[in-house]
Each structure stands twice: as structure tokens, then as C-alpha cells.
Amino acid sequence: MKIAVLPGDGIGTEITAQAVRVLKALNLPMELEEAPVGGAAYDRTGDPLPSATLDLARAADAILFGAVGGWQYDKLPREKRPEQAVLGLRKHLGLFANLRPSIVYPELVNASTLKPEVVSGLDILILRELTGDIYFGQPRGIRVAADGPFKGQREGFDTMRYADGEIRRIMHVGFAAARKRSRRLCSVDKANVLETMQLWKDVAAEVAAEYPDVEYSSMYVDNAAMQLVRNPRQFDVIVTGNMFGDILSDEASMLTGSIGMQPSASLNDSRKGLYEPIHGSAPDIAGKNLANPLATILSAAMMLRYSFDREDAAVRIESAVRKVLVQGLRTADIYESGTTKVGTVEMGDAVLKAL
């Protein structure tokens, strides 16, 4: 297992350090190599994604990514900003499938803004297509309207497009994931209005026929947005396009209420993946031993599950995380009275001990 470790900026270095300790403690045949990315790489080389870092990422089977960004880089030209490194890695490695699980741990049920009875026991996976859709479709731009009631005025336009094969491959990732979970998959579209989404729905149904052991359904995106806060537990795996997934996955992340707990995976065709917490570099708490490392540790568990097919090792990490929560240990972001507040390193220590 060749793993590229790209800690990045801010709390990125603190949280990946803890995840690396956990990975090493598993005693699996694993090679870990670290490289700078984001602002840290820009400071050293003038490039947020230097070729040496990209080469390492290309050669690896999986990438453990911390977070990038910082106030000192906000005035740089767009192509030099740390965030470009994430977009560059997605593009160069063809990471088209973004998986975001939302799990409400019983010990953290009060962290959600929704009522405990709505979210308790929640365990859903949102799968978002990451490299197509209206975010990338051409043509796009701002032009002068040639006709219609606003003729002669500026008009913005974008193009939503998905090819058959593009939809098919994300659906296969979804059904394969559903087989490892509760075997239910809901495809989310807007086929009642958009041609692209009619194709999405047709292809989803065709792929569903290849997985008779998975219960398949489809839902319009507006209804899905409502159902996610009305009764989120009705879902297991949700598969959707880039734009709808962008919105629904952020909505779902709030069901659990704690940004420091949420891992993610972005996979390509050959199951190479980039694994990272969904949060950013949190410059406000960086270097203070305050960051919650659990999202990154849980991202390492996803790596073992999806890139290395080591469900056993993934479950070991997830059980260890669960155990420290049961023990009442909390970083500041998930602290509530009656629990024990610990720092980043101490949380890492506790997970290692639980392992």
C-alpha cells in the first residue's frame, strides 16, 4: 500500500500527523511518503501543486490529504492559491467520485441542529459526481443577449452535460458502495425539467438492473433536499450529479453538526483515492492543539475500505473512534458539559490506545 501523505496548511499538519500514527499502528504492509501541498508548497517552490508532489500522488495507490489555505495567500493570483492544489489533484488523477458519509454517533446526537429523534442512528452516504455537469460543461460565459425580452443586455450561460458512460461509472461506484452497506440506493435528478437529467435517470435505472440485490429508487432533487431534513434515515446511498451533490452533501454534513467529524473520499476509475476531512485548514485554531483529528482518522479508514479493500482494518479504526467517544473524550468543537476536553494529540493518543 503506497500512500502519499499531503498535510497542507494550518491544522492540516496536525490532523494528518494523528491519522498517520493510526495507520502505522495497524502494522499493515504500508509505505507512507510525505510531500508539501497548498500554501506550504507555494512557500517552498512558488507552486501550490509542485510537479514532485503531483508525481508522488500519481505513483501512490492512495493519498491522505489534510487541508490547504490561509489568509496570507488570499491575495495571490487565482492559479497560485493553495485551493488550486485540490482542483489540480482531482483533475490530474481523474477523481470523479466523491463519497461523503454522514454518521450521527449516539454520543454526539446533540451536536446536530435537528431534533435528536430525527437524526439519531443516521448513517447515510452521499456520492457526488465530481468532474462533469454544469461546472465543467462548455460553452459557458457572459455575452450580450441576442433575442428575448432582455435582448441587448448581458446574459450569463452555462451548459449542463453528462455522457452516458460518465453516469454509468458513478452509478457502478454507488451500487458497489451500497452492497457494502444497507443495499439501498437512491438516484437524485431533475428529470422532470432537464434533458441531461432524463438521461441520468434512464442510465441509473439501466445500471440498477445489474444489481438486483440493491433496492433502487429515484427522487427529484427538490424533494431530496426536503426529505434530507424531514426524515434523513430513509436514505442509505444517494447518488447525484456535481451541482446537486455539492448542495446536498453540505446539507447532509449539518445533520451531524460537527465539521471536525466528517471524512470524505474522492475516487477514480482504478480505485485510487484522495482521502480528506471535509473541513478546511482552520487558520483560527492552527498550531494550538485544538483541532479535531477524527475526520482525518476516519478518512484513513475510508482509504482502507475503498482503495485497499481492507474492510476489517477500516472497521478497526472506526470502532476505535467510537470507543473514545463512548469514553467521553472530546475536542473543543464537539465538547459538551459532562465530557472530557482533550487536544489534537491527546485525541490521537486515545484512538491509538483504543486500537
Residue 252: name the closest of 273, 216, 223, 227 by CA: 227
Q: Which residue's CB is nearer to ligand NAD, number 318 or number 333?
A: 333
Q: Which residue's CB is nearer to ligand NAD, number 40 or number 219?
A: 40
Q: Which residue's CB is nearer to ligand NAD, number 137 or number 283?
A: 283
Peptide bond into 77 cis (omega under 30): no
- Residue 83 makes contact with ligand NAD by CB under 6 A: yes
The span of 46-54, 68-76, 161-169, 303-311 binding ligand NAD (CB under 6 A) equals 68-76
- Residue 263 makes contact with ligand NAD by CB under 6 A: no
Q: Which residue's CB is nearer to ligand NAD, number 11 or number 317?
A: 11
- Residue 241 makes contact with ligand NAD by CB under 6 A: no
Q: Which residue's CB is nearer to ligand NAD, number 240 or number 292?
A: 292
Q: Which residue's CB is nearer to ligand NAD, number 22 or number 199?
A: 22
Q: Which of residues 287-326 bind ligand NAD (CB under 6 A)?
A: 291-292, 295
Residue with cell 454544469: 134
Work out whether the CA dihedral 141, 142, 146, 149 comes out positive or negative. positive
Residue with cell 488570499: 74
- Residue 69 makes contact with ligand NAD by CB under 6 A: yes
- Residue 284 makes contact with ligand NAD by CB under 6 A: yes
- Residue 282 makes contact with ligand NAD by CB under 6 A: yes
- Which of 67, 167, 170, 173 is in the footprint of ligand NAD by CB under 6 A? 67
- Residue 237 makes contact with ligand NAD by CB under 6 A: no
**Total number of residues binding ligand NAD (CB under 6 A)?**
22
The span of 163-171, 177-185, 281-289, 316-324 binding ligand NAD (CB under 6 A) equals 281-289
Catalytically active residues, by annotation = 135, 190, 222, 246, 250
Shortest spacing between CB 47 and ligand NAD, in angstroms: 16
- Residue 333 makes contact with ligand NAD by CB under 6 A: yes
- For residue 125 the three cell numbers come to 452516504
Shortest spacing between CB 293 and ligand NAD, in angstroms: 7
Shortest spacing between CB 258 and ligand NAD, in angstroms: 8
Instruction: Say if residue 346 is exposed, middle or buried (CB neighbours under 10 Å; 0-12, 13-18, 19+).
Output: middle
- Residue 280 makes contact with ligand NAD by CB under 6 A: yes
- Residue 88 makes contact with ligand NAD by CB under 6 A: no
Shortest spacing between CB 123 and ligand NAD, in angstroms: 21
Shortest spacing between CB 165 and ligand NAD, in angstroms: 28
- Residue 285 makes contact with ligand NAD by CB under 6 A: yes
Q: What is the binding site for ligand NAD (CB under 6 A)?
A: 11, 15, 67-70, 83, 86, 259-260, 276, 279-285, 291-292, 295, 333
